[in-house]
Structure 1
Amino acid sequence: MLEYWRRVRIENEVIYLFLRSPITQIAAIIAFVSVFGALLAPWIAPSNPYDLASFDLLDSFLPPMWADGGDPRYFIGTDDQGRDLLSSILYGTRLSLLVGLSSVAFAAILGTGLGLAAGYFGGRFDAVVMRIADVQLSLPAILTALLVDGVARGILPREQHEDLLLVVLTVAIGLSLWVNFARTARASTFVERNKEYVQAAEIMGLHPLRIMIVAILPNIMGPLLVIGTVDLAVAILLEATLSFLGVGVPPNQPSLGTLIRIGTEYIFSGEWWIVIFPSLTLIIMIVSINILGDFLRRVLNPRLR
């Protein structure tokens, strides 16, 4: 009963703090619209940018409909291939969110699992995991992702590169983000493992895996949720950076990074809309996710309120 009322009090505090923060409300609306638009892209997008029959090269480089020479069919214009830019952004956001969420999920499972085991068992296993984490922290995330992506491309057969490109990209980004989850889970497990409920579970003879997952993990989820929210923005930015460099998603499935890379080739020739609108979409989405992550951090840490 006490646990129930504690959860009710926490939920009420979250709602109260959320309603008192207009910036967080705006960020939540933007994040919701981004996810909503990405999920429903096949139904709300004016056209399918992946379908060659849905666009015409004669419609390339059309400016937004309100500018001189604009076409009412294309609200924010078209790109170099005549694709509707609004449709490309909706599908690109969908792909960026898919890679970002998959990468964070992979990093969370890997990092949390290693952190739980390192904090619970300690000893040599803890030392090995933390030394690997230290080496990982000495490398920039983008460099780690590029390294993993390059190794995977060298190992996999050439004919499977296109089919497994999204999987490789997800693993590459995930392997560059697992350290924060591992270090946080390890530190929190060190605190929790000496508490009475863990000692009681050990006396009852429960398997260590069950103790870590059922007993310890729910009590350390708060900081991990914050890290997951912040790392989602980092993962989306990493995917956009890799795609901008030409080693991200396939060219026939453009993400926001690919659209920005295409736009930069024509910005000095006057076709500014091709790079401006995808860039604004990426910036606004990342900023809104970071604001939500900061809000969760303040809610879960009363000392920051």
Structure 2
Amino acid sequence: MFGGFFDKLKDGLSKTRNSIADKVSDVLKLAVVIDDDLYEELEEILITSDIGVETSVYVIEKLRKRVREYKIKDPAEIIPCLKEVLMDILGNDENLIENEKLPRVILVIGVNGVGKTTSIGKMASIFKNSKHKVLIAAADTFRAAAIDQLEVWSTRAGVALVKHQEGSDPAAVVFDAVQAAKARKIDVLICDTAGRLHNKKNLMDELAKIDRVIKREYSEAQMETLLVIDSTTGQNGIQQAKQFMEICTIDGIILTKLDGTAKGGVVISIKNQLNIPVKYIGVGEGIDDLQEFNPRDFVEALF
């Protein structure tokens, strides 16, 4: 990964690093022996940094096992072990994005306020910079502001937008966008969708209808659904993800606002509890502050 990217990631994770890595280091510096008390302290640090109870217990269990395997006696040598355990959980999903075939349709879901529109604009910019032809569909017709916001971001990214007026049928917007994508030989079509979780039945029907339109009209395209989660909500983000998983299949997560939170540990519990890969992370406000998620870089930047 380019130095600039890694530096941005490191800066973006500074609050999380203070809440996890620095505290872990402090505890290990003071520790004389590796015993149950030490593991308990480490577990507490993980839980308070929003890795969640279930995942924290799992991490410490794996850590104990590895420390025994490697016959480690010095507490200072625990950090490389911890990094290995976290890497095992996050998996080696590197370069997932380059390997996907074109044309692609990306359906972006998530509750309002998590940074969905912004992420779509930034993602469009990433694809455009990789020389792909991109089109955005404004299928969140429920909020007038969503369409206007998307227009601003599509202009910023320099990509075209297909939109209808507020209140129109989202599936009709997607239908038009698919026809435009085929006619213009678009590589990546990114569709915004409404984020009304409190009205699950409607949202379910809406997404099912959009899904049918894409499969019927654009069967040659690879389709994936990405869920946007605001990392500042920590474990609540996981609850949101579970609710969306009841509605549709989720192929990946976009985690926003990592730079503004100490709860970046949520990345680890997303993968451990939901087994969905994090595909992109947002580490700033700028159009180029959405990055493809690289587990190794994440763990290195964390420590």
Q: Sort the TM-score into its range (normalised by shorter chain).
A: under 0.3
TM-score w.r.t. structure 2 length?
Answer: 0.27
Bigger relative contact order, structure 1 or 2, given CA contacts below 8 A and separation 6+? 2
TM-score w.r.t. structure 1 length?
Answer: 0.26
Larger Rg: 1
Question: Structure 1 or 2: larger strand share?
Answer: 2
